[in-house]
Amino acid sequence: DQQVKQNSPSLSVQEGRISILNCDYTNSMFDYFLWYKKYPAEGPTFLISISSIKDKNEDGRFTVFLNKSAKHLSLHIVPSQPGDSAVYFCAASDNDYKLSFGAGTTVTVRA
């Protein structure tokens, strides 16, 4: 049973515009959420995270928003750049060291 869901398998955005990636979860015990970025033929790399006690975390061009009541989080990339073209995974943990991953969203940034 998929506890973390990314319902949009792909997203295409023009360079300079905002990319918004969405993620929903079902396990109310999750208390830490992360976004990973993955290029082809490479392992995932950490991008940004947020604790359940916060509703927003910002790091440069990347901002993650958490809506606990809706069990929803989103990743905003502003402005989008060609190097942002990759697969983005949403992940969550429940006070443990194991992560549950979504299926990923492939972002393509058009010049």
Partner 1 sequence: NAGVTQTPKFRILKIGQSMTLQCAQDMNHNYMYWYRQDPGMGLKLIYYSVGAGITDKGEVPNGYNVSRSTTEDFPLRLELAAPSQTSVYFCASSYSRHSGNTIYFGEGSWLTVV
Residues that bind partner 1 (CB under 8 A): 2, 4, 6, 9, 32, 34, 41-46, 49, 89, 91, 93, 95-104
Closest CA relative to residue 104, chosen from 7, 20, 2, 3: 7
Residue 89 or 109: the one with the smaller Cβ distance to partner 1 is 89
Pick between residue 83 and residue 97 the one whose CB is nearest to partner 1. 97
CA distance 6 to 8: 6
CB atoms within 10 A of CB 83: 9
In the complex, least distance from residue 84 CB atom to partner 1, rounded to whole angstroms: 19
The residue type found at 93 is S
Which distant-in-sequence residues (6+ apart) come within 8 Å of 42 by Cβ? Answer: none
41/111 with CB nearer partner 1: 41
Cβ–Cβ < 8 Å for 25, 3: yes
Minimum gap (Å) between residue 75 Cβ and partner 1: 14
Q: Output the smallest distance, CB 59 to partner 1, in A.
A: 11
Q: Which is nearer to partner 1, 31 or 85 (CB)?
A: 31
What is the smallest separation between the CB atom of 111 and partner 1, expressed in angstroms? 27
Is there a contact between 108 and 10 (Cβ–Cβ < 8 Å)? yes
